[in-house]
């Protein structure tokens, strides 16, 4: 059995796409997954599965959510080992930063630097970003809500065809902890 985290994009935000975590736990259990837990109300679930295919797990969960709740949600599923590797590879001094200052955007597929060639990082200093394995690290010292770099990175078209969902560092480390347990 492998422990995974499901990362749902854009649920329970501003009263849209309401998805109660208790129902998400029931849904995941009904799909045959074990040890199902959720974290916060923003679409983070941890579960075990015998499947080794993250993309299939994500697709199955997305279809189940659409059937049960009547709306589509982009889902990413990542193993605990992957989440640990992303956290360990962080190029920023995470231990010295507040959780709101550091974010990871997880991608559905590898994303190369050419996608971000139009974004000049020096224009946004001291903010910064770095690419990792299907992930982008964003350092925003004033937080995401005030980040001009985050706005630039979220421009329409930059990530066309790629599912992307972000988590602050507190959630990143909590998901690593939950997938270890």
pLDDT digits (tens, 9 = 90+) for 50-107: 998 999 999 999 999 999 999 999 999 999 999 999 999 999 999 999 989 999 999 9
What CATH number should be reported for the domain holding residue 30? 3.30.70.1280
Q: What is the mean pLDDT of residues 11-19?
A: 75
Bond preceding residue 126 cis, omega within 30 of 0: yes
Q: Is residue 14 part of a domain?
A: yes
Whether residue 67 is found in the same domain as residue 101: no
Please, what sign has the CA dihedral across residues 122, 126, 130, 135? negative
- Max CA-CA distance within the chain? 49
What CATH number should be reported for the domain holding residue 143? 3.30.70
Whether residue 58 is found in the same domain as residue 121: no
Q: Given this model, what pLDDT does residue 40 score?
A: 79
Q: pLDDT tier at 15 (50, 70, 90 boundaries)? A: low
Q: Is residue 174 part of a domain?
A: no
Q: Is residue 97 part of a domain?
A: yes
Task: Please count the structural domains in the chain.
Answer: 2
Q: Given this model, what pLDDT does residue 54 score?
A: 96
Q: Is residue 181 part of a domain?
A: no
Between CA 45 and CA 24 the distance in angstroms is 8
Q: pLDDT tier at 42 (50, 70, 90 boundaries)? A: confident
Q: Given this model, what pLDDT does residue 12 score?
A: 67
Whether residue 9 is found in the same domain as residue 77: yes
Q: pLDDT tier at 13 (50, 70, 90 boundaries)? A: low
- Which of 58, 62, 20, 26 is closest to 41 using CA atoms? 20
Helix (H, G, I), strand (E, B) or coil at 37: strand
């Amino acid at each position: 059995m492998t422990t995974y985290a499901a990362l749902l994009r854009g649920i329970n935000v501003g009263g849209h796409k309401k998805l109660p975590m208790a129902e998400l736990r029931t849904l995941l259990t009904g799909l045959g997954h074990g040890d199902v837990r959720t974290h916060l109300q923003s679409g983070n679930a941890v579960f075990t599965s015998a499947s080794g295919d993250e993309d299939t797990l994500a697709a199955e969960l997305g279809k189940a959510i659409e059937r049960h709740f009547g709306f589509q949600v982009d889902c990413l599923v990542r193993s605990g080992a992957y989440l640990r590797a992303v956290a360990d590879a962080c190029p920023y001094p995470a231990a010295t930063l507040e959780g709101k200052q550091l974010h990871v955007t997880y991608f559905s597929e590898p994303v190369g630097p050419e996608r971000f060639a139009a974004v000049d990082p020096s224009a946004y200093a001291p903010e910064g970003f770095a690419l990792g394995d299907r992930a982008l690290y964003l350092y925003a010292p004033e937080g995401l809500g005030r980040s001009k770099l985050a706005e630039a990175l979220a421009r329409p078209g930059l990530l066309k065809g790629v599912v992307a969902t972000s988590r602050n560092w507190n959630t990143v480390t909590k998901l690593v902890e939950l997938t270890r347990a």
